[in-house]
Amino acid sequence: MSKLLQTLLACVVALGVSSPRAHAKVEFNRDIRPIFSDTCFQCHGPDEKQRKSGLRLDSRAEGLKAGKSGAVAIVPGKPEASEIIKRILTTDEEDLMPPTKLHKPLTALQKELLKQWVAEGAEYQGHWAFLTPKRPEAPKVSDPKAHIANDIDAFVLARLEKEGLHPSPETDRATLIRRVTLDLTGLPPTPEEVDAFANDKSGSAYEKVVDRLLASPHYGEQMARQWLDFARYADSHGFQTDSSRQNEVVSISAQRPVIF
């Protein structure tokens, strides 16, 4: 193996172990629940028939209780006293969790995340669908010449700075209107629409194009197209005859409403 390749591999391993997420505040839904779901819930989840040692980890109240052995799985703020941390770090094959026979060993980063989570208080979160969204504060961008039209630009530019990258220059107007029109309606812009956008020198030219496209019936058709694909909709039978299905659709609609 060449020295260059060895160096690259060492950098990849170092980045994987010391990921920035391991030093930021750990979130249960983002960082811990996926680990538990993949490696722990099978034996320590809500299913009483499959639960081992009376330990349930999908509930904070249950996770803080002492198990059959008397040991407490999670001691908030004290990873060294938490049985769950002892079990994932032990070298004893009989005590190691997850068990070797499951063939789902935790990575070094996953172990660090679990330790950090317990050290930070082992906070649980409910299902994301029932949590009130919180608007994050827009990051500061160091480049004074950066064009920031909204908070999304700030997040994008801040990440580019973090990665040592620079944003691409703004494309020409013909390409810009073609991109947004295809994205929102699935159709290319007309020559007249391209000319109108190219000749509009106002500061809100792009916003006006977006508003016009969102008000177009073609935008609704584009949004519905994916659901029609899920419903396996087609205008014809396909295969050999490829005849129209219009009569059948009308017949079905007359009998009961079709809900997509």
In a domain, 243, yes or no: no
The tens place of each residue's pLDDT in the chain, 260 residues long, gives 444 444 444 443 344 444 445 458 899 999 999 999 999 999 999 998 888 888 999 999 999 998 778 899 999 999 999 999 999 999 998 899 999 998 999 999 999 999 999 999 999 999 888 989 888 899 999 888 888 888 999 999 999 999 999 998 889 999 999 999 999 999 999 999 999 999 999 989 999 999 999 999 999 999 999 898 888 888 777 766 777 766 554 444 444 444 44
* Residues 153, 88 share a domain: no
Q: Does residue 110 lie within any of the structural domains?
A: yes
Note whether 24 and 122 are same-domain residues. Answer: yes
* Residue 4, burial from CB neighbour count under 10 angstroms (0-12, 13-18, 19+): exposed
Q: Within a domain: residue 202? A: yes
Do residues 84 and 118 touch, judged by C-beta distance below 8 A?
Answer: yes
The answer to whether residue 142 is domain-embedded is yes
Based on the domain organization, do 75 and 157 belong to the same domain? no
Residue 1 lies in a domain: no
Q: How far are the Cα atoms of 19, 57, 76, 114, 160 from residue 36, in angstroms, in the given order? A: 19, 8, 17, 10, 32
Q: Are 39 and 88 in contact, with CB atoms under 8 Å apart?
A: no
Q: Which of 86, 80, 82, 60 is nearest to 72 (CA)?
A: 82
245 within some domain: no
With tokens 């997420």, the residue in question is 21
Could you tell me if 155 and 163 are in contact, meaning their C-beta atoms sit under 8 angstroms apart?
no
Same domain for 87 and 67: yes
Looking at the structure, do residues 125 and 139 belong to the same domain, yes or no? Answer: no
Please tell me whether residues 48 and 150 are part of one structural domain.
no
Do 140 and 126 fall within a single domain? no
Clarify whether residues 92 and 195 are in a common domain.
Answer: no
Give the count of domains, the chain. 3
What is the spatial distance between Cα 109 and Cα 107, in angstroms, rounded to a whole number?
Answer: 5
222 located within any domain: yes
- Do 126 and 31 share a domain, yes or no? yes
Residues 123 and 143 in one domain: no
Domain that holds residue 204: 173-234
Listed in sequence order, the DSSP H helices in 73-216 are 83-89, 108-119, 151-162, 173-185, 191-199, 205-214
Work out whether the CA dihedral 125, 126, 132, 135 comes out positive or negative. positive
- Shared domain for 122 and 39, answered yes or no, is yes
- Residue 189, in any domain of the structure: yes
